[in-house]
Amino acid sequence: MLENRKWVIIGLFCIVGLTYLARLFYLQVLDDTYSLGASKNSIKRVVEIPYRGQIYDRNNQLIVYNTPVYDLYVTPKQVRIPDTAAFCRMMAITPSDFDSIMGLAKNYSPVKPSLFLRQLSKEDFARIQDALVDYRGFEPVISSMRTYPAHTMANALGYVSEISKKQLENQDITYYRQGDYIGHNGLEQQYEEQLRGKRGVKFMMQNVRGVNKGSWKNGEFDTLAVAGQNLITGIDVEVQKYADSLMQNKVGAVLAVEPSSGEILVSVSAPTYDPNLLSSRFFSKNYRALIKNPYKPLINRPVMASYRPGSTFKLIQALIAQQQGSLFTNTVYGHGGSPMRCHCHGGNNLRGAVQNSCNPYFYYVFRKFLYFNGEHNTFKASAIGLRQWHDMAEKFGIGGRLGVDLPSELKGNLPTPEYYDKAYHGALRWKFSNVYSLSIGEGELLISPLKLVNLAATIANRGWYITPHYIKGFGKAGVGLPAEYNEHHETGIDYKYYLPVIDGMRGAVAHGTVTPLANIEGIDLCGKTGTSQNSKYGHKYDHSIFIGFAPMNNPKIAVAVFVENAGWGGKAAASVAALVAERYLKRKTEALKLDAQVKASNYLPPAQFLPGAKKPVAPKKDTTQKTPAAKPLMTATKSNPIVVPAVSGN
Amino acid sequence: MGWLNVYAAVYSPEDHTSLFDLSTNAGKQLMWIGTTVILIICILVINHTFFDTFAFVFYGFMILMLILVLFIGSNINGSRSWFKFGSFTIQPAEFAKVATALALAKYLDVPGINLTKQKDLLYIAGIIVLPCILILASNETGSTLVFASFAIMLYREGLPGWIPAVGLSAAALFILALVFSKLYIFLGIVVLLLLVILLMPRYNRTLPNLLGIGLVGLMMMGYVAGVDFFVNNVLQKHQRNRIKVLVDPTIDPLGVGWNVTQAKIAIGSGRLQGKGFLEGTQTKFDFVPEQSTDFIFCTIGEEHGFIGSFIVVALFIALLARIVILAEKQRTKFARVYGYCVAGIIFFHVMVNIGMTIGLMPVIGIPLPFFSYGGSSLWSFSILLFIFLKLDSRRAGAMWR
């Protein structure tokens, strides 16, 4: 009987064995959560960030490049510092800073490298490089920082900084991770995808403490990083810098395009700031200072500011009225019967009216335009006329966004009949007498400088425009240019109707509304002044506007200048425009007297009018001096605490 | 002999993996293997009567060693159970198993010993419990539990059926008490006992019997309540945690449950065919703790997959079955008892060790025979196995003659 018990025992062995095998089968073959857990455990993606593309101007001058900087990493476990005091002196940090950084690093991991100091300049690094040999556990990792040798165009370029939390959460395809750099605003944002290149991914094996153990499967699944593409822009840096200097102590915008191609030559937003301010270790400090500046240097005025176009809009009125057939070159209107004041002597034909910017003349032109349809009811006729007016004016690209390659363009406003229906609480409750201020570019019109420079280019081209754009190509001119920037937009106005308007524009500069000094010899500038009413501080602070192009025949440059609060358009704005055009066409400035006069004038609005400012603070101008002269290594750590990032390859 | 083949076949995977896992450990292990071979030769050369005659001497010597180690042993991981010679350490507890097995065999060899007699039973219990207490004193709970494996041998030798029955039901109640709340178990016990009474023949339902059943029920309830108390108040913290992890593996995967979770991940990631020899990422990069000693099975599971682990488990079962069958063939009771002891010890080790890596057993630090790194365990298992082999060879020799 006891003999039989051996079968019980063997049976027990077998049952246990079979149970284990069943369990193993389940774990190893049926359930795959464990094998997924394993790869999560031991295989780490190491991301290689490629160099960001550089940005050039039309003459192959560098506007933005990457400076190598050194991030100093520390591996706490390997650190051997014979003399901490001497080390801190060399690094220009205080012993307490040293302790706190090391504490953070140790907390993160004793065996993984963590950031000790970020963005050491080449000079700083050279200074400590030799001495660093004596201190074990510190390892410099090369990384890069955006640098702007031209110190200009900050607003149009945008800046590169760490990705924000919101952006991280809103990505369609998960590409960025915490701590990644991304272009903000301007071209850096617009062409982010091309500039950033393609990140490489390496799969590394790591042990339980995160120490690397070589590449996984010999790098079979690794992808190489692809460097970002260089962006060639149509900007002419030299003229750009000159325009910057002209706009010192002024608020406004200067835009210039090449009419034949739509390439933007100059893009000034005044006041501006040195773009290097936002690329250094001192980003947050500098950014806060800029945000607080009452003159709002962070607004990119060429595309984000909306002004009433003032008299410059008369050009469109003249063109569409001729096309409609309600205006002829020899039509003459006097001042009588118009509610508008005028400074000219009256009795102009079309050329004269443009030259002298006669308000009553365009009052009548617009009146006739609106009623130029068989409708006798003035309310109905106004509605029909305004619809026609809107549709024709829209062709100049002023109704909506033009489509410039910046992310922040604003729409502006070109009123429609529906707009007034709403404003007057119903259809047919308004007529010409309610909207006549549109005739001289006032009223409900809102237009950005970009659209006005486009208008100048359109007239320079006598009938068509290419949407203004910054890009000229990637790597080489013309490569990768979006198709829309080759497309001609027709205005629907016949060639012949442009000629009298252009004659008037030339006349305006030669002996019309423009200050005589601005009629610079040899550039043959044609233009139209505008004075946008700004009753906030009284007429003394009207905005000065000028749009124009040069030379008259076969124009090479179209310019639009806004100078806020500078009063009469013929002076401040026209002078700047003339000087910019001269510099571009002649590559030098001969009108030295005008140059000096412009540079000396200060149109900054009194700061007490500005919201949020008690004392007038000089705006950050673009300067050629470098960022903070003396640079202690650690000044940034207070506003910019060192946060230990995940290890990323470089 | 089939033995050697099994031994070699089972042995080789450890040799290689260990060699690449941790080069220092692998080197030492090679040295251990060398010395083991010498030991085996010694055992095979010595006359078989040597073991028979000196069984109690061995036993006495080991008891002495176990007492000694408490005083002069070196402290490793909180347990004072190792002798240290230079960089090598020896754990006498491992050898105590062999000595106890021999002593038990010797004792049972005496004619007239009957396991149903209470006096003999007490003696045997004494032989087993004495080293247990000493090992427990040196804080090696895992090794102590191994002595429970002698129950298998005792069962074969005629242990009254009620003893293993009580043991099994105690174990079952223990696990139930951990998984379910007390109230449910009490209800279950009452229902069970009522069923028993219902099924009893009418003439058996006498008052004493009913009272006895009631008493059993009360004892079970008391035991269940005691388990709770035992787990929460008597066990040390790490032991309590191990039991908790077994019941619910998902608690605290980074802390208490780390070992089991990582072991399961490693084994599970092997899939059907395994990652290939030396390709294991989990075991190679230290995700699995103690991967060359207690969790060695993870290496097999990860690198050789289900096929590999199937072969290992099957080999162990085959080995155990063969030992049992051979033991039955022995002429002397000494050899048979000893054979069953060997089978029991190996079975217990295999069951607990593999069981803990796949989450079926609580984590108890005992090695997998012939696989785990460690000289003491390799030596003791070799001695264990080859003494039996020697005893068996005498049988074969006698038959041949």
**Domains of chain A and CATH, by start:** 62-149 (3.90.1310.10), 302-552+561-575 (3.40.710.10)
**B329 lies within 8 A of chain A by CB:** no
B75 pLDDT tier (thresholds 50, 70, 90): low
| Alpha-carbon gap: A73 to the closest alpha carbon of chain B (Å) | 24
Q: What is the 3-state secondary structure (H, E, C) of chain B?
A: CHHHHHHHHHHHHHHHHHHHHCHHHHHHHHHHHHHHHHHHHHHHHCCCHHHHHHHHHHHHHHHHHHHHHHHHCEEECCEEEEEEECCEEECHHHHHHHHHHHHHHHHHHCCCCCCCCHHHHHHHHHHHHHHHHHHHHCCCHHHHHHHHHHHHHHHHCCCCCHHHHHHHHHHHHHHHHHHCCHHHHHHHHHHHHHHHHHHCCHHHCCHHHHHHHHHHHHHHHHHHHHHHHHHHHHCCHHHHHHHHHHHCCCCCCCCCCHHHHHHHHHHHCCCCCCCCCCCCHHHHCCCCCCCCCCCHHHHHHHHHHHHHHHHHHHHHHHHHHHHHHHHHHCCCHHHHHHHHHHHHHHHHHHHHHHHHHCCCCCCCCCCCCCCCCCHHHHHHHHHHHHHHHHHHHHHHHHHHC
- B22 near A CB under 8 A: no
CB pair distance less than 8 Å for A27 and B286: no
Q: Sorting pLDDT into bands at 50, 70 and 90, what band is B81?
A: low
pLDDT above 50 for B381: yes
Which tens digit of pLDDT belongs to each residue from A604-616? 876 655 554 444 3
Chain A: residue whose CA lies nearest to B272:
A29
Tell me which chain A residue has its CA closest to the CA of residue B297.
A24
* Residues in chain A within 8 Å Cβ distance of B301: 24, 27-28
Closest-CA residue to A65 (of A237, A222, A256, A199): A237
Q: How far is CA A568 from CA A252, A265, A318, A531, in A?
A: 14, 25, 21, 5
**pLDDT tier at A625 (50, 70, 90 boundaries)?**
very low
- pLDDT classification of B176: cutoffs 50, 70, 90: confident
Residues of B in contact with A111 (CB under 8 A): none
| Cβ separation A35–B286 shorter than 8 A | no
Mean local confidence (pLDDT), A348-356 = 89
Best probe of the B interface among A1, A20, A23, by most B CBs < 10 A, is: A20
Percent of chain B exceeding pLDDT 90 equals 0
Within 8 A of A215 by CB-CB distance, chain B residues are none
Where are the domains positioned within chain B?
Answer: 2-160+235-400, 161-234
First to last CA, chain A: 76
Q: Which of B72, B45, B321, B270 is nearest to A31 (CA)?
A: B270
- B267–A28 CB contact, under 8 Å: yes
| pLDDT of B19 strictly over 60 | no
Q: How far is B58 from chain A (nearest CA, A)?
A: 28
Contact residues on chain A for B328, CB-CB shorter than 8 A: 3, 6
Among A20, A28, A206, beta carbon nearest to B285: A206
Contact with chain A for residue B150, Cβ under 8 A? no
What Cα–Cα distance (Å) separates residue B3 from each residue in A84, A107, A357, A609?
A: 65, 54, 115, 101
Of the pLDDT bands very low, low, confident and very high (cuts 50, 70, 90), residue B285 is low
Asked if the model's pLDDT at residue B259 lies above 70, the reply is no
Q: What is the pLDDT of residue B401?
A: 42
CB contact under 8 A, B271 and A29: yes
Q: What angle do CA A235, A236, A242 make, to 5 degrees?
A: 120
- The pTM (predicted TM-score) of the whole model is 0.61
Residue-wise pLDDT tens digits, A514-557: 888 888 888 899 999 988 877 665 556 788 999 999 899 999 99
Residue A317 has pLDDT above 70, yes or no: yes
Min distance B207 CA to chain A CA atoms (Å): 33
B159 pLDDT more than 50: yes
d(CA B119, CA B100): 19
pLDDT at B334: 83
Give the nearest partner residue to A208 out of B285, B309, B320, using CB atoms.
B285
SS3 (DSSP) at A299: coil
Mean pLDDT of chain A: 81
H/E segment holding residue A53: none
Chain B residue with Cα closest to A207: B285
* Contact list, B321 vs chain A (CB under 8 Å): 10, 13-14
Q: Tally Cβ neighbours within 10 Å of residue A30.
A: 10
Contact A20/B360, CB-based, under 8 Å?
yes
Q: What's the confidence (pLDDT) of residue B374?
A: 65
- pLDDT (0 to 100) of residue A464: 93
Distance from CA of B177 to the nearest CA of A (A): 22
What DSSP string runs through A131-180? HHTTSBTEEEEEEEEEE-TT---HHHH-EEEEPPHHHHHH-SS----TT-
The helices-and-strands tally (H runs, E runs) of chain A is 22, 18
Q: Do A27 and B313 make contact, defined as CB atoms within 8 angstroms?
A: no
A415's tokens: 């009123």
Instruction: Identify all chain A residues contacting B347, using CB atoms and an 8 Å cutoff.
Output: 13, 16
What is the per-residue pLDDT across A170-217, written as a single tens digit (0 to 9) for each? 877 777 776 678 888 889 888 988 888 887 777 777 665 656 666 666
Report the chain A residue with the minimal C-alpha distance to residue B271. Answer: A28
Of A13, A20, A38, the CB nearest to B354: A20
Whole-number Å distance between alpha carbons of A423 and B215: 96
pLDDT tens for B208-240 read: 777 887 888 888 888 877 777 777 766 666 667
With CB atoms and an 8 Å threshold, state whether A9 touches B272: no
| Residues A20, B301: C-beta atoms closer than 8 Å | no
Residue A323 pLDDT: 92
Name the pLDDT band for A257 (thresholds 50, 70, 90).
very high
Distance from CA of A274 to the nearest CA of B (A): 50
- Tell me the β-bridge partners of A55: A64, A231
Q: So what's the pLDDT on residue A460?
A: 93
Tell me if B317 and A35 make a contact (CB, 8 A cut-off): no
Which residue in this structure is represented by tokens 């002829």? A328
Nearest to B282 among A23, A24, A42 (CB): A42
What is the C-alpha separation between B355 and B361, in angstroms, rounded?
A: 5
pLDDT at site A500: 92
The band of A628, judged by pLDDT with boundaries at 50, 70 and 90, is very low
For residue B12, pLDDT over 80 is answered with no
Contact B324 A27 (CB under 8 A): no
**CA atoms of A642 and A115, how far apart (whole Å):** 7
Q: Which chain A residue is nearest to residue B347, measuring alpha carbons?
A: A13
Percent of chain A with pLDDT over 90: 22
Verify whether the Cβ–Cβ distance A24 to B158 is below 8 Å: no
pLDDT at A23: 82
pLDDT in tens, B354-376: 888 787 777 777 777 777 666 67
Mutate to test the interface with B, among A25, A27, A32, A33 (most CBs of B within 10 A): A27
Chain A contacts in chain B segment 110-129 (CB below 8 A): none
Q: Give the chain B residue nearest A16 (alpha carbons).
A: B351
What pLDDT sits at residue B227? 76
B323 touches chain A (CB under 8 A): no
**Confidence category of residue B20, pLDDT binned at 50, 70, 90:** very low
Contact B287 A42 (CB under 8 A): yes
Residues 289-308, chain B, touching A (beta carbon < 8 A): 301-302, 305-306
Test B354 with A21 for CB contact under 8 angstroms: no
Residues in A lying within 8 Å of B, measured between beta carbons: 2-3, 5-6, 8-10, 12-14, 16-17, 19-21, 23-25, 27-29, 31-35, 37-39, 41-43, 205-209, 213
Q: What is the edge-to-edge ordering of all strands in the sheet holding A200-206?
A: A43-48, A200-206, A212-215
Report the pLDDT value the prediction gives residue A12, as an integer from 0 to 100. Answer: 82
Contact across the interface for A23 and B281, Cβ inside 8 Å: no
Distances (CA, A) of B191 to B153, B155, B180, B186: 34, 30, 16, 9
Name the residue in chain A with its Cα closest to that of B157: A2
What residues contact residue B100 under an 8 Å CB cut-off, 6+ apart? B59, B62, B127, B128, B131, B147, B150, B341
